[in-house]
Structure 1
Amino acid sequence: MSDPADSQPAAPLRLVDVQVAVAAELDRIGEVIDDLGAAFTEAGHELALVGGPVRDAMLGRRSNDLDFTTSARPEQSERILRAWGDAWWDMGRAFGTIGARKGEWVVEVTTYRSEAYDPDSRKPEVEYGDSLAGDLGRRDFTVNAMAIRLPGREIVDPHGGVLDLAHRVLRTPGTPEQSFSDDPLRMMRAARFAAQLGFDVDEDVVRAMTEMAGRIEIISAERVRDELVKLICAPTPRPGLALLVDTGLADHVLPELPALKLERDEHHRHKDVYDHTLTVLEQAIDLEPRLAERADITAPDFVSRFAALMHDVGKPRTRKFTGDGTVTFHHHDVVGAKITRKRMRALKFSNDEVDAVTKLVELHLRFHGYGTGEWTDSAVRRYVRDAGDQLERLHVLTRADCTTRNKRKADRLRRTYDDLEARIERLAGEEELAAIRPDLDGNQIMEILGIGPGREVGTAYKWLLELRLDNGPMSTEDATAALKQWWAAGGGAAPEPPPQD
């Protein structure tokens, strides 16, 4: 679990440190910003480094992806970037953005603009502006409303972003009500930046988020999804998620999370599911290095994190009170998987992401049937077979799901799962568990039984797979004998109807 000290407010930055950091970063990227600034100036246009790259430079963070704003119109930016870069693209032309790459550097240049939402529209109406000050005034937060004019490297900070950055606070350039009315997604960005940067959110901003939470409904599912992914993949997502819940935004974008705040009373006690869930997420993040050996998984890993966040969402619907004062959540794994699938589809996640997360949610309790190691090899094989390509993530989720404060119990669960993983590794070395399949293929089945393609072949194949899971690998001769015996006993016949009373 994360060190509690990590959640303590960070000390304010000293302005002198900010100045030193930005100077060092501007020197590092000087070959790009000075050259590009000169090119736009020679063409009669203004250019400024803006937004996240300026903020990150002041925080001492490096990036080779640079954002600029300019007085030039898109077609004028295109001409300059064509001559400057190795490649260019205009997928953002509708929003005034032209991109280019030169060596290891990637730049995006956007015409000064202002954008606002019609009350019933999901898409911003883009209008070009004529000044840097006007462009900065329309941005989401003051720490993102700073610029560096090029090629002279003059810092432009009309809204006090440097001071807010030094004090690690998120404020809007104008009133938060106007900012969130212009683009309601900025409310989710406040939560995301709280998670990414470890900043506090100004009280007026929180108040506006709470009062205007319902306005997020006009934003497309895809934009909400992308912002949610960025939040969950932040270094410390818990503060951002808590902000979504506390302001009511989560009720609109991820209602399953606040629903975990189950009512409790003195007669029916159970673990705080909401707090437990956020702790499981933190512990899953701490365990992410275990996934490093998988070439197809990169940290931060959204799938394992979102599975941790959703693993208990079935509990509110399955909670039952018993006469002795205990509480049960029978089948919350299966119910939770269905809820997770529905939510992820509503947010337009890919089928692969939906399948991966829902499989983990559905399987997250399976280990608890292991007891103290009573599973047979057959049960271990089925655990691996059912987890499939999500086995490593299931290891992470299952271990993260232990949040007990009882050290003895926690140590016992850890040792028991260590034992299960050791058995999986042993069987994997002996039996190629990652590719469990019957000892005979479809062609062999048809040849041995003297049948053609059809239902019987599929039935025989499934029976052989279960035999393989029960007994482990078999020789071709033994598998053939077993198949013939099963067939002779009527294994391929249609099941008999149940007896009539």
Structure 2
Amino acid sequence: MTINLTQNKNFKLFKTISSVAEKNEQSVFIVGGFVRDLLMLRKAPTDIDFVTEQSGIDLAKAVAKELDPTLKVSIFKTYGTAMVKFNHLDLEFVGARKESYSENSRNPAVENGSLEDDQKRRDFTINALAISLNKENFGELIDPFNGQEDLQNKILRTPLEPLQTYSDDPLRMMRALRFASTLNFTIEENSLKAIKNEAERIKIVSLERVMVEFNKIMLSEKPSVGLKLMEETGLLNLILPELLALKGIEEKEGQTHKDNFWHTLEVVDNISENTDNLWLRWAALLHDIGKAPTKKFIEGIGWSFHGHEFLGSKMVKNIFYQLKLPLGNDMKFVQKMVKLSSRPIALIDDGTSDSALRRLLFDAGEDLEDLFILNKADITTKNSKKQEKFKKNFEYVAEKIKEVEEKDHVRNFQPPISGEEIMELFNLQPGREIGILKEKVKEAILEGEISNDHFEARNFVIFEGEKLGLILSKN
């Protein structure tokens, strides 16, 4: 079968690479994800992999020189690969190779090989497809493992025996789950069994590489597809056991609680319909993470998860640390969302005070809208009337908060009186009294005792300062 590349936006580039390879007496083929996505009519990726049966580094240098002599060629001698950035594309050139693996490493011993050898070492048949750029058969699809048929049937199958494939490079197990989730493919039965058998091998893969695949699952249209497969294969227990601890339902005195694991997966799917923000999706994944350690049955009352939001927010840091996820603002955002996840629900009441609304505004700040997206995603009842009621309740709270914000301006709150002005008022040096007075101002505003206004705040500080025994400056 021949692929018509003439309509492809990269056709001119492909012809140039073909011509350079011919001059250098080298073969050249497009391989991997670009070919897969081309056949699936998906948006073309910005990285294109080329294989030659000679030197990938030599071909990369020659292509770069032909395209633009000023182009930089990044060379990775260990793997015989080279990268050229051109027109917003990452062009990677590699020499065809055979690979052999040792038991305790996913870094293979490499030797030169043929195109067929290179295709055999690919993770899945759909990624083992190649298109020739050679003059004699330009555009020919080379498909030794029926990858095109697997594409049509939406099947993930390994080119070689799956146990060997996953044992050699255990990261391929996470890639299988990722492709199942992002492409909506089914993992072939023997392949799925092999992942279950080889799950423990994931421990030899760096967590950074594992989390790249995990986050691609989290960013897929329906993350629960990949997360369910992680649970089924045993990978989730090895990577994020805290989440699996939410699984199961207990019954005491005829009272049960919902299965918080399956509920969490629903919440993640719900939120994914409304946001592409990875860390907001992570907040959905971890919003109930504190429920397993706080679960308690109270006689006459039933099941309680008291304080699970507070404990869950503390658990977030440890989870991010263990998984080598970023510990800066992204982690703090997830902590904040988990900690506040139940707050708006408590405000769904006509009797809710403006003070409670001001405190939520103050605590959520610029992330209030994200918090409401999380809250709405947390509605997983199948009862349409209840669902509608909950959504209307949130709209009601949002409207009340909007009214309070317009009146009091406490979102992203900055004290209307500065520490410097307090020091001048009482002729003070920096010290604990300034912090005490600023905190008192904040509390007075949140409680509605004074307005968020400089004049009122200044008079309040003078009154409170004198109660602390401070003497007003005569200046």
TM beyond 0.5: yes
CA distance in 2, matches of 1:482, 1:25: 76
Partner of 2:59: 77
Is 1:150 paired with 2:128? no
**1:280 paired to 2:267:** yes
CA positional deviation for 1:410? 2.1
SS in structure 2 of the partner of residue 256 of structure 1:
helix
In the alignment, which residue of structure 1 is the partner of 2:288? Answer: 312
Instruction: Report the Cα distance in structure 2 between the residues aligned to 1:418 and 1:483, rounded to whole angstroms.
Output: 37
Which residue of the partner structure matches residue 173 of structure 1? 159
Q: Among residues 114, 117, 120, which one is paired with 1:134 in the alignment?
A: 117
- Show CA shifts across 1:443-499 (max 9, x none): 111111221112211222222222232337443322111101111112889xxxxxx
- 1:141-180 per-residue CA deviation (whole Å, 9 max, x = no partner) reads 1110111011411111111111111111001000111101
Partner of 2:250: 264
- The alpha-carbon deviation at position 339 of structure 1 amounts to 2.4
Counterpart of 2:294, as a letter, is T
Aligned residue number for residue 52 of structure 1: 33
**Is 1:99 the equivalent of 2:83?**
yes
Describe how 1:381-392 pairs up with structure 2 within 5 A: 381-392=358-369
**Contact kept? 1:116, 1:183, Cα under 8 Å:** no
Question: Percent identity at matched positions?
Answer: 32
Deviates more, 1:404-413 or 1:165-174: 404-413
Residues 336 and 361, structure 1, Cα contact 8 Å, conserved in 2? yes
Alignment of 1:487 with 2:474, yes or no, is: no
Question: What is the identity, as a one-letter code, of the residue corresponding to 1:96?
Answer: G
- The answer to whether 1:436 aligns with 2:422 is no
CA 1:338 to 1:478, structure 2 compared with 1: closer, same or farther past 3 Å? closer
Residue 37 of structure 1 and its aligned partner are, at CA, apart by 2.1
Number of aligned positions between the proteins: 462
8 Å contact from structure 2 (residues 30, 133) kept in 1: yes
Cα deviation code 1:406-435 (max 9, x no counterpart): 333322221221122223334444554443
The aligned amino acid for 2:464 is W
Give the distance between the partners of 2:299 and 2:280, measured in 1 at CA: 37
Gaps in structure 1 of 5+ consecutive residues: 1-18, 289-299, 494-501
- Distance in 1, matches of 2:452 and 2:295, equals 45
Deviation at 1:116, TM superposition (A): 4.7
Deviations 1:101-147 (A, max 9, x none): 322433222222344543223x5135142211101100101110111
| Equivalences for residues 67-466 of structure 1 within 5 A | 67-85=49-67, 87-90=71-74, 92-121=76-105, 123-151=106-134, 152-265=138-251, 267-288=254-275, 300-324=276-300, 326-351=302-327, 352-466=329-443
Deviation for aligned residue 1:91: 6.4
RMSD of aligned residue pairs (Cα, Å): 2.3
Is residue 14 of structure 2 the alignment partner of residue 33 of structure 1?
Answer: yes
Greater CA deviation, 311-320 or 79-88?
Answer: 79-88
Secondary structure class of the residue paired with 2:241: coil
Paired residues of 2:348 and 2:397 also in contact (CA < 8 A): no
Conserved? CA contact 2:60–2:93, under 8 Å = no
Contact 1:373-1:419 at 8 Å conserved across structures: no
Cα 1:27–1:279 shift into 2, 3 Å: same
Distance 1:469 1:323, change over 3 A: closer
**Residue aligned with 2:72, SS:** strand
TM-score, normalization by structure 1: 0.86
For 1:91 and 1:344, locate their aligned partners in 2 and report how far apart those are by CA, in whole Å: 33
DSSP-derived class of the 1:372 partner? coil
Secondary structure class of the residue paired with 1:101: strand
Q: Distance in 2 between matches of 1:118 and 1:43?
A: 35
Are 2:218 and 2:281, in contact at CA under 8 Å, matched by a contact in 1? yes
Q: Give the deviation of 1:210 after TM superposition.
A: 0.7
Contact kept? 1:71, 1:112, Cα under 8 Å: yes
CA distance in 1, matches of 2:412, 2:192: 51
SS of 1:100 mapped into structure 2: strand
Structure 2: tracts of 5 or more residues without a match: none
How far, CA to CA, are the matches of 1:434 and 1:37 in structure 2? 60
Instruction: Confirm or deny: 8 A CA contact 1:232 1:302 kept in the other structure.
Output: yes
